[in-house]
Structure 1
């Protein structure tokens, strides 16, 4: 059996975008005259459990306030796309791995809780750095009804790839994505981003990459636990 596909479990596995996402939310609040201003700690806590599309709705419920969460979410996604289009560097080793996969015939999939516009903006902004290597499959928030840690998106990626979980590896940057991948039966490589800083224990015993590289991918897919600093 050979490794036939890599599933990137969120745009945070491609680029460190959490701070831009937080800024986009705060810009949306200002645009609609709402006095909220999420600190990093507030944003990280809202992101930690995953499971829904509506951070604003959950935060409003916590405060006992009423807002148009759908409108806020739409404005946030637009601001986020604009910020991403301004340019963002790929995380260490991402371009190397994507080119390695393309040369070896390993398919590439992206799973994201974002809408099409932010994802398109990120991919356009990083196309040159990736050497133009595209994704074969993209499963975005509009393609599923349940968000990570539910495995629906990961399972949909496998269906689109026409592969069983044993033939693919998920690259995950947060515990939420990790749980979704594991529940879909996938082996995983931990590539923790900033949002995972408060929960490092979730990645204990796993292959952990601080920079992506083929050796770490193969090690994780084979189920070998080790620290991998490519």
Structure 2
């Protein structure tokens, strides 16, 4: 195995409830009488894309909104909340990154979120979760997950074969994207994505163990 590819910022840290709070902050900022409860948000997470999530919700309510503007406000709120969140890495993440680097493997972050969100998360987590060999963000691919484009781009950038890598994903669309690119995938669902379908994953875990992911030396 030559590379470990983390598939989203949610595989590094538990960010979903911070995201939901950021959406609600953005709705208030735009004068919308919307409030997404956790149960509502869990159902929405089965489809990727925050901007599209806003647009679908507005259409269902018969409300006209500038989904792009609301989503920009949401991203600003998310980054502000991250800075004061005291966020820590999810169980086993730091150990896995450390062990992969010690084994001479590459470590990537393969997302379809914005570079600003990625940078804010990495700043919040500190130096133990940093120095990726490739970081893919929304600006580098034309199609979001579940399309395989983000993984295809990462593999081309790293010069690696799909079968020599392992992906770690926290949601159903991410697992589908990795599988479509031919990358074996470990599902590492978060608190708000545990109900997703992970039939294409090699296994489903609640913490990362380097011994299960990396080749034995």
Does the pair score TM above 0.5? Answer: yes
Moved more, 91-100 or 77-86: 77-86
Asked whether the 8 Å contact 1:54–1:73 carries over to 2, the reply is no
User: Equivalent of 1:157, from 154, 170, 179?
Assistant: 154
Q: Are residues 205 and 215 of structure 1, via their aligned partners in 2, closer, same or farther at CA, if it must alter by over 3 Å?
A: same
Once the two structures are superposed, residues 99-128 of structure 1 have per-residue CA deviations (whole angstroms, 9 ceiling, x without a partner) of: 111212211111223211221111011124
Instruction: Name the SS for the 2:206 alignment partner.
Output: strand
If the length of structure 1 is used for normalisation, what is the TM-score? Answer: 0.87
Instruction: Name the SS for the 2:32 alignment partner.
Output: coil
For 2:195 and 2:63, the matched residues in 1 are separated by 28
Once the two structures are superposed, residues 202-222 of structure 1 have per-residue CA deviations (whole angstroms, 9 ceiling, x without a partner) of: 248732222212222148xxx
Q: Displacement of 1:53 after TM fit?
A: 4.2
Count, aligned residues: 214
Q: Structure 1 residue runs of 4+, over 6 Å off?
A: none
For 1:41 and 1:112, the matched residues in 2 are separated by 25
For 2:124 and 2:201, the matched residues in 1 are separated by 35
Q: Are residues 39 and 8 of structure 1, via their aligned partners in 2, closer, same or farther at CA, if it must alter by over 3 Å?
A: same
- The residue that corresponds to 1:104 in the other structure is 103
Asked whether the 8 Å contact 2:198–2:204 carries over to 1, the reply is no
Matched, 1:120 2:98: no
- The residue that corresponds to 1:223 in the other structure is none
Once the two structures are superposed, residues 78-117 of structure 1 have per-residue CA deviations (whole angstroms, 9 ceiling, x without a partner) of: 1111111223110001000111112122111112232112
Matched, 1:58 2:59: no
For 1:142 and 1:76, the matched residues in 2 are separated by 18
Gaps of 5+ in 1: 220-230
If the length of structure 2 is used for normalisation, what is the TM-score? Answer: 0.92
Asked whether the 8 Å contact 1:154–1:181 carries over to 2, the reply is yes
For 1:59 and 1:124, the matched residues in 2 are separated by 31
Q: Displacement of 1:29 after TM fit?
A: 0.5
For 1:203 and 1:118, the matched residues in 2 are separated by 29
- The residue that corresponds to 2:139 in the other structure is 142
Q: Are residues 150 and 103 of structure 1, via their aligned partners in 2, closer, same or farther at CA, if it must alter by over 3 Å?
A: same
- The residue that corresponds to 2:180 in the other structure is 183
For 1:182 and 1:204, the matched residues in 2 are separated by 7
- The residue that corresponds to 2:22 in the other structure is 24
Task: State the Cα RMSD in Å.
Answer: 1.8
